[in-house]
Amino acid sequence: MRMHSRALASLFLGSTVVLTGLSAPALADSAHSSSVKVKRVDKSDSILSQAKKLKGKPYRYGGATPSGFDCSGYVQYVYKKAGTKIGRTSGAQLKGKSIAKSKKKPGDILIFMRGGTAYHSAIYAGDGKMWEAQRTGVPVGKHGIWSSGYVVRRPAGSDVVATTKAKQVSTTPKSAAKAGTFAP
Type of residue numbered 2: R
Q: How many domains does the chain have?
A: 2
Residues 86 and 177 in one domain: no
Residues 111 and 152 in one domain: yes
Q: How confident is the model at residue 9 (pLDDT cuts 50, 70, 90)?
A: very low
Owning domain of residue 141:
40-161
CATH of the domain at 149: 3.90.1720.10
Q: What is the pLDDT of residues 98-126, one digit of tens each?
A: 999 999 999 999 999 999 999 999 999 99
Q: Give residue 42's pLDDT.
A: 83
Residues 61 and 19 in one domain: no
Cα dihedral: 115, 117, 119, 120 (round 10): 100
Q: Give residue 156's pLDDT.
A: 81
Q: What is the pTM of this model?
A: 0.67
Residue 8 has pLDDT above 50, yes or no: no
Residues 75 and 16 in one domain: no
Residues 135 and 175 in one domain: no
Distance CA 57, CA 71 (A): 12
User: DSSP readout, the chain?
Assistant: -HHHHHHHHHHHTTS-----SEEHHHHHHT-EEEEEEEEE---HHHHHHHHHHTTTPPB-TT-EETTEE-HHHHHHHHHHHTT----SSTTGGGGSEEE-GGG--TTPEEEEEETTEEEEEEEEEETTEEEE--BTTB-SEEEE---S-EEEEE-TTSSEEEEEEEEE-----HHHHHHSEE--
Q: What is the pLDDT of residues 133-172, one digit of tens each?
A: 999 999 999 999 999 999 999 998 776 555 555 555 445 4
Q: Give residue 87's pLDDT.
A: 97
* Range scoring the smallest mean pLDDT among 9-23, 31-45, 58-72: 9-23
For residues 35 and 59, which has the higher predicted lDDT (pLDDT)? 59
Q: Give residue 132's pLDDT.
A: 98
